[in-house]
C-alpha cells in the first residue's frame, strides 16, 4: 500500500516536472525567436538610418545654407550620438 502511494506520488511529480519543462521550453523558444527578430530589426534599422543619413548629406551638399545656422549642428550631433547609443555603436 505504501509502495503504491509512493509510486503514485512520484508519478504525479514526474507529470508536474514534465509540464514545467515544456513550459520552460516554450518560453526559451519564444526568447530565441524574439532575439532573432531583434537582430533583424537592428540590421534593418541601421540600413534605413544609413540611407536616411546619406540622403540628408546629399541634400545638405546640394543645398548649402546661405547663413550658418546656430545650434542646429550641435542638435544634429546630439541626435546622431543618441541613435548611435541606441544601436550600440558607441
30, 71 contact by CB (below 8 A): no
Q: Which of 1-5, 31-35, 40-44, 66-70 has the lowest mean pLDDT?
A: 66-70
Q: What is the pLDDT of residue 71?
A: 61
pLDDT of residue 90: 52
Pairwise CA distance, residues 56 & 81, whole Å: 16
**pLDDT tens track for 28-63:** 999 999 999 999 999 999 999 999 999 988 888 887
Q: What is the pTM of this model?
A: 0.51
Q: So what's the pLDDT on residue 19?
A: 96
Amino acid at each position: 500500500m505504501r509502495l503504491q502511494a509512493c509510486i503514485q506520488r512520484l508519478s504525479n511529480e514526474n507529470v508536474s516536472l514534465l509540464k514545467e519543462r515544456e513550459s520552460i521550453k516554450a518560453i526559451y523558444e519564444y526568447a530565441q525567436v524574439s532575439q532573432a527578430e531583434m537582430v533583424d530589426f537592428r540590421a534593418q534599422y541601421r540600413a534605413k538610418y544609413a540611407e536616411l543619413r546619406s540622403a540628408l548629406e546629399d541634400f545638405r551638399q546640394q543645398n548649402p545654407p546661405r547663413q550658418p545656422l546656430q545650434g542646429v549642428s550641435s542638435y544634429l550631433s546630439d541626435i546622431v550620438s543618441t541613435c548611435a547609443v541606441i544601436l550600440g555603436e558607441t
